[in-house]
Amino acid sequence: MQGVGSFAFFTAWFGILISMLVAQVFGIVSALDLGRHGVHTTGVALSTRSETWNDADGDPVTVHYTKIGFTVGTERHVEEISGRYTTGEKVRIVYDPQSVNVVRSEEDTGLGGLVGDFVGVAVLLAMLVFGVSFAISWYRE
């Protein structure tokens, strides 16, 4: 029974890691694709809100979101992007012409803005390699 439980644990571990890795890579590809093929324009920051919670160590983490107003043709749109901007500030944004509600700041669609996402992929890959090596050494015993 111990072998079945260990197998189930490793299967769940790898399933979760692979799911997280796929989601992270998909997010990077989506952001880069939007940056390359989206419509670049300028919006105006309308309001900013923040959410704060405690991480696993009990340290507070705050994330900021800003409502951006912009015009497509004659239609006015208001969408929320990540980041903290002063009300009235002009913000360079990119939106998907097929789905105008898909909006990001320009800085979030370039390689520089995605550094944290790339670090996340590296950490997940390292965890996957560690898990595989651990499973192989455990299996050999």
pLDDT computed for residue 72 by the predictor: 95
User: What does the DSSP 8-state code read for residue 107?
Assistant: G
- Number of independent structural domains in the chain: 2
Question: Domain check: are 80 and 36 in the same one?
Answer: yes
- Answer whether residue 6 is part of any domain: no
For residues 106 and 90, the answer to whether their CB atoms sit within 8 Å is: no
Nearest to 14 by CA among 137, 139, 124: 124
Question: Domain check: are 76 and 120 in the same one?
Answer: no
Angstrom CA distances, 43 to 66, 94, 123, stand at 11, 9, 34
pLDDT computed for residue 4 by the predictor: 64
Nearest to 28 by CA among 123, 122, 115, 129: 115
Angstrom CA distances, 31 to 63, 99, 136, stand at 19, 14, 36
pTM of the predicted structure, to 2 decimals: 0.69
To the nearest 10 degrees (0 to 180), the angle between helices 115-140 and 2-37 is 160
Range of the domain at 137: 111-141
pLDDT computed for residue 2 by the predictor: 56
Handedness of CA 23, 29, 35, 39 (dihedral sign): negative
Question: Domain check: are 48 and 73 in the same one?
Answer: yes
Question: Domain check: are 74 and 128 in the same one?
Answer: no
Tokens of 91: 């913000």
Tokens of 72: 């497509």
pLDDT computed for residue 111 by the predictor: 66
- Answer whether residue 85 is part of any domain: yes
Q: Could you list the pLDDT tens digit for every one of the 141 residues in the chain?
A: 456 667 777 788 888 888 888 988 888 888 888 888 999 999 999 999 999 999 888 889 999 999 999 999 999 999 999 999 999 999 999 999 999 999 999 988 766 667 777 888 888 888 888 877 877 776 676
